[in-house]
Amino acid sequence: ANDGTNKNTEIVSQMRTLIESIKQHNYAYYVLDNPILEDSEYDQLRRSLLEIEEEYPDLVQPDSPINQVGDMPLSAFTQVTHDIPMLSLGNVFEYDDLRDFMRRVNDRLSDSQQNPEYEMELKLDGLAVSLKYEHGKFVQAVTRGDGQTGEDITQNAKTIRNLPLWIADAADIELLEVRGEVLMPKAGFERLNRLSEASEGKTFANPRNAAAGSLRQLDPAIAASRPLAFYGYSVNQGLPESIETQSGALAWLTELGFTVSAVEVVANPRAAQTYYESVIEGRADLPFEIDGIVIKVNSLALQQQLGFLSREPRWATAYKFPAETVMTRLNDIEWQV
Ligand code: NAD
C-alpha cells in the first residue's frame, strides 16, 4: 500500500509540474500576446498532461487546464459575458484520426442521419472575436477570453477596414451575432515589423501575436494604423430560419458584406483528405497564415443535436497541419537515408 501511495505522490507531482508550466504559457500567449514556446512544444505539454489524466482519472487536479479555453481576459478592458460561450475546437493530425472523428459523429446519429455532409473551411490563425449588430448597426466586439467572459474591444474593432459598421439588409434583425477571426495578412505583418524594428527596435513573433496585440491596444489610434482584417465563420444569433446549413450561413454573411473563409462541402473522409492536401499545397500562396482546416457538420439541426463536450463542439474539429519543425526533421531524415 505504501508503494501505491508513493507512486500516487509521484504522479501528482508530475501533473502539478505540467499544470504550472501550461498555466505560465497560457498567460504568455493569451494575456501578454508574447509566447515563449513554439505551438508544437506547448501542444506536447498538454498532450503529456492529458495522457497522465487518462491513465489516472482519480488523480486529476481540480485546476487542470485541459478543459479550459484561453485564459482570463486583461483587466484593462471592460469584461463582457458572452450570451453563448465561445469554445475551442478539438483537433486531429492525420487521416485515421479524421475517420475516427467522423465515426464518433455517426455513432451519435440515427441510421438515417449517418454519413452527413461536412463543410470545410480554412483554419485562420488569428484570434476569435464576437461581433454584435442591433438593427443592422455594429454595437460591440468582444474577444473570446476564457470562453465565458471576454474583453470589450469595440473601439479597436471599428478601425478594421473590412468590418461592416452598418448592414442595411440586417436592419430588421433585432440582434445579429457574427463570430470570426481577426487576423493580420502576411504582407501587412512584414511591413509592420519593418516599421516597428526601425522605430522601436522590436518585432512581433508572428502575425497572430501582432493581430492580438493590435486589437488589444489601449489607444485606438494605434490599432487603426495596424492592417487587420475580419473573416466571419459563424452566425450565432439572428440567422434567418430559412438557412439550414453552415455553408448557407456563410453565403448569407457574404451577401451582408462580410469576408468569409473559403468553403467547400464534402460527403466523406476521402474527399476531406483531398481538400486538406490541396490546401497544404496552396498554403504558401495565401495572403494570410492558416494552421489547418476546420471540418464542420454542415446541417445546423444536426450540429444542435450533436451538441458540445466541455470545451469543444462534437460536430466540428480542426485538422491541423504538421508543425514546420517536424517537416524539417522529416526532410533531414530523407537526406540522411
Ligand atoms: P485552436 O486555435 O486550436 O482552435 C480554436 C479556434 O480556432 C477558435 O477559437 C477560432 O478562433 C479558430 N478558428 C480559425 N478558423 C476557424 C474557422 N474557420 N471556424 C471556426 N473556428 C476557427 O484552439 P485554441 O484553444 O485557441 O488554442 C490552442 C492554440 O493556441 C494551439 O495551436 C496552441 O499551440 C496555441 N497556444 C500556444 C501557446 C504557446 O505557448 N506557444 C500557448 C497557448 C496556446
Q: What percentage of the chain exceeds 70 in pLDDT? A: 95
Q: Which atom of ligand 1 is nearest to the CA of 35?
A: 40
**Average pLDDT along the chain:** 91
Measured on CA atoms in the order 120, 158, 177, 71, is the torsion positive or negative?
positive
Residues with CB under 6 Å of ligand 1 are: 25-26, 28-29, 35, 37, 39, 42-43, 69, 88-89, 91, 121, 123-124, 128, 144, 181, 233, 261, 294, 318
- Dist CA 291 CA 288 (whole Å): 10
Architecture of the CATH domain 79-331: 2-Layer Sandwich (3.30)
Q: Confidence band (pLDDT; 50, 70, 90) for 1? A: low
pLDDT of residue 281: 94
Atom of ligand 1 nearest to the CA of 36: 40
Which residue has better confidence, 71 or 128? Answer: 128
Give per-residue pLDDT as tens, 61-81: 999 999 888 887 777 899 999
The protein residue whose alpha carbon is closest to atom 19 in ligand 1 is 233
* DSSP character string of 282-322: HGGGSSS-EEEEEEEESBHHHHHHH-B-SSSBSSEEEEEPP
Average pLDDT of the segment spanning 22-37: 90
For 39-59, the pLDDT digits (tens) are 889 989 999 999 999 999 999
Helices (H) and strands (E) in the chain, counts: 11, 11
241-293 confidence digits (pLDDT tens): 999 999 999 999 999 999 998 788 888 889 999 999 999 999 999 999 999 99
Active site residues: 123
pLDDT over threshold 50, residue 314: yes
**Given this model, what pLDDT does residue 219 score?**
87
Nearest to 223 by CA among 211, 232, 231: 211
Whether 118 has a pLDDT exceeding 50, the answer reads: yes
pLDDT tier for residue 332 given thresholds of 50, 70 and 90: very low
- Rounded distance between C-alpha atoms, residue 216 and residue 212, angstroms: 6
Question: Domain segments of the chain: what residues?
Answer: 2-68, 79-331
Confidence at residue 5, expressed as pLDDT on a 0 to 100 scale: 82
Say what the pLDDT of residue 2 is. Answer: 67
Percent of the chain topping pLDDT 90: 77
Query: What is the average per-residue pLDDT within 152-181?
Result: 97
> Whose Cα sits closest to atom 20 in ligand 1?
233
Whether 146 contacts 71, CB under 8 Å? yes
Q: For position 202, what pLDDT does the model report?
A: 82
Q: How many residues does the chain have?
A: 337
pLDDT tens for each residue of 76-112: 899 999 999 999 999 999 999 999 999 999 999 999 9
Average pLDDT over residues 121-133: 96
- What pLDDT score was predicted for residue 324? 62
Residue bearing cell 517537416: 327
pTM: 0.91
In this structure, which topology does domain 2-68 adopt according to CATH? Helix Hairpins (1.10.287)
Above 80 in pLDDT, residue 117?
yes
Pocket test for ligand 1, best of 127, 181, 184 (most atoms within 8 A of CB): 181
What mean pLDDT is predicted for residues 309-319? 94
Nine-digit cell string for 9: 505522490
Give mean pLDDT, residues 191-219. Answer: 89
pLDDT of amino acid 161: 94
Question: Where residue 196 falls among pLDDT bands split at 50, 70, 90?
Answer: confident
pLDDT at residue 331 is higher than 60? no
Q: Which of 42, 43, 125, 308 to mutate to test the pocket of ligand 1 (most atoms within 8 A of CB)?
A: 42
